[in-house]
Structure formats: C-alpha cells, structure tokens
Structure 1
Amino acid sequence: MSLSRRRFMILAASVASTTVFSTESRADAPVLAENDPTAQALGYKADASKVDKARFPRFQNRQTCANCQLYQGKPGSTMGPCPTYGGKLVNAKGWCNAYVKKT
C-alpha cells in the first residue's frame, strides 16, 4: 500500500495520540463536531451518506468509521474514539478522509 505524505502524517499522529489516550478514560470523551477545524479539513461527516463525493473522491460506499482501522469503538457500538481527532468520539456510521480499511 502506497501512502502519501499527508496520509502518513495523519496515521503517525493517530498512533502517537493512541498512546497518550490509552491511559485516559474514553467514556467521558467529547463527541466530535462536524464544525471542528480538523474534522472540516478531513471532511468528517457523522453520516457517511452525506460525504461530498466531489471534494473527497476517495470515498466509496460502505466506508464508515466502524470499518476503519483507526476507529477504536467496540463492535456494534454507535460511537467510538478516534485517535485522528485526539480520542474524541466519532459516529460509527461516519466517515472522514483519514479512512483506512480494516484488514
């Protein structure tokens, strides 16, 4: 898999923040707002069906936070923390441009 520099930096930041947040309680983590500056830059939508496909051509149907490698919610949960956003809770049915398919 070939990574662009931008995607590499996003993933590197995600891994680093995972270490920081692993000792903190995530139950009281704030919910990520779509108007958060990082969320806007990465095109985060709480509902993947509302992704601007012209702006984010990488988006494909069936891609959601729940099936992204970065999503740390439990299977079947409606929300879970995402290290891309500093551990804030994202919607399992959401999507952003940092999406990496679970393998």
Structure 2
Amino acid sequence: MNMNRRTFVIHSLVGTAALAAATLTRAEAAKVAETDPQAIGLGYKEDATKADKAKFPKYAAGQHCGNCQLYQGGATGYGNCALFPGKQVAAAGWCSAYAKKA
C-alpha cells in the first residue's frame, strides 16, 4: 500500500475525530446514581419532589438542579454539576447544596 502524506493526514484526522466522539459519548453517559456515597450525603434525588423533606427542611417546591447555580446544563435532561465532577445530574433533580441562580 502506497500512502502519501495527504492520505496519512486525512486518516489521522478521521481517527482522531472518531476517538473524540467516542470519548464524549462515554462522558455524557455517566450519571450520578442516588446510591453514590456523595449523592447520599447530599440527599441527591433525580426527582426533586422525592427529596426527604424531614431530613432536608431547606427543600422548597420549585427547587431543582435546572435552576441551581452549580448546574451546568439545559433546562431538561442531564447536565454537569460542580459537586459531581465527571458525572451528570438530572435537571429535575435536587440536593442539599441547592443555591438558586441569580
């Protein structure tokens, strides 16, 4: 097989793009489980309405990750949270570190 420089560069770029896409897909799939030790400590629930109101009296209706300062994602689905690096939380979720966005 005779490979010239142009073909090598094109194959390298395609391979790099495929690797980057696979890495992003894997990173997006990692979600915080409610059974995660840190999630338990913070009282994290994927559904804010299921927050333990007795244990966390700070919880109020309308609070959810989607409108928290620590949340870095869209209004629905999943997004990153500063408290759980490398994992995603539900926009509809809640934890005791909730801080309303300004």
Q: Which residue of 1 aligns with 2:64?
A: 64
Segments ≥4 residues shifted beyond 2 Å? 24-27
Greater RCO between the two (CA within 8 Å, min separation 6)?
A: 1
Report the identity percentage: 49
Name the CA shift for 1:25/1:70 in 2 (closer, same or farther; >3 Å): farther
Q: Aligned partners of 1:46 and 1:77: how far apart in 2?
A: 12
Cα offset, 1:26, TM superposition: 8.3
Amino acid of the structure 1 residue aligned with 2:71: Y
Please state which structure has a larger fraction of its residues in helix.
Answer: 2
* Aligned-pair CA distance for 1:27: 6.6
Which residue does 2:31 correspond to in 1? 31
Structure 2 regions of 5+ residues with no counterpart?
1-22
Question: Which structure would you say has the larger Rg?
Answer: 2
TM-score by length of 2: 0.71
| Residue-pair matches, total | 79
Kept in 2: contact 1:68–1:101 (CA 8 A)? yes
Q: Distance in 1 between matches of 2:26 and 2:68?
A: 20
* RMSD value, Cα: 1.8
